[in-house]
Amino acid sequence: MRSLEGMSILVTGGGSGIGLGAARYCVERGARVTICGRRKDKIEAAATALGDSCRGVAADITVAADRETLLEAAKNHGGQLDALVNNAGNMYRGAITELEEVALQEVFHTNVIAAMMLTGLCTPYLEQQKGAVVFIGSIHTRRAFPGASPYAATKAAVQGLTRVLAAELGEKKIRVNCLLPGAVFTEINQRAGLMDDETALQRLEGMSDLHALGRIGTTEEIAEAMAYLICAEWVTGAMIDIDGGLGLGLTQDPAVSAMKETCDHD
């Protein structure tokens, strides 16, 4: 298996949450990482905090010129391109009877189409390094959350895309895989204006019992799996659940719960 040391890695949506956690993890292990985000102040602050091995680029991946700029920045910063992490994404929620077509198109553009276009742009350079592409899927394709059909649909598309591109790019020795995170604190709901940080964290922590391991995850735990997919040389087309067992659909048998409660009081 390869080492992260000396790699040049491009992470979209790297200013916070899973993307920032991934960038930090890779920088700490010797990689040169380029991150991007729409907010210049936020992305520059994140890059500064991670040190000289991280470069921040203010870019909107839905804009073709910005994708070109981002790729050039990553090549200049790292001297090559070993891995692309398609992490940038937005949230759109609502009842199926109330969805707006323009908003649906926007979330598909960010979560699916822009990632496809950036992957295509990066392919010649990834081929030179026999590199890797990592997409970020979601537990939303494992468990049904009413009102989240737009987001779930984009992540299902990403997971289908992963398998097709793994087959398509295999002859170029490019590996393509997908991570499916469980409940991890990020800013995706806050950016969509759905809730504030405190409410978002309380919501996630309220889901702890739905995880077989009894807690929500951390961005570092997602980064560990991401690093594996970047470095593992014989893994492609894989969907890896990093979710603490959330996708298992854990249910509580009332009789078993009652027995446990009785034992706890004895």
In the chain, where are the structural domains located? 8-265
Buried b / exposed e over 214-224, threshold 16 CB at 10 Å, is eebbebebbbe
Residue whose C-alpha is closest to residue 142's, from 130, 125, 155, 126 = 155
User: Which helix (H) or strand (E) segment is 241 a member of?
Assistant: strand 239-242
Which regions in the chain score pLDDT beneath 70?
187-195, 252-266
CA-CA distances (angstroms) from residue 85 to 45, 76, 105? 20, 17, 22
| CA 215/CA 57 separation, integer angstroms | 34
How is domain 8-265 classified at the architecture level of CATH? 3-Layer(aba) Sandwich (3.40)
Q: What's the pLDDT at 202? A: 83
CB distance 181 to 134 below 8 Å? no
Q: Distance (Å, rounded) from C-alpha 116 to C-alpha 70?
A: 15
Please report the pLDDT score of residue 262 as a whole number.
Answer: 56
In Å, what is the CA distance from 63 to each residue of 67, 155, 217?
6, 20, 32
User: What is the model's pLDDT at position 187?
Assistant: 65
Please give the pLDDT value at position 196: 74
Catalytic residues: 151
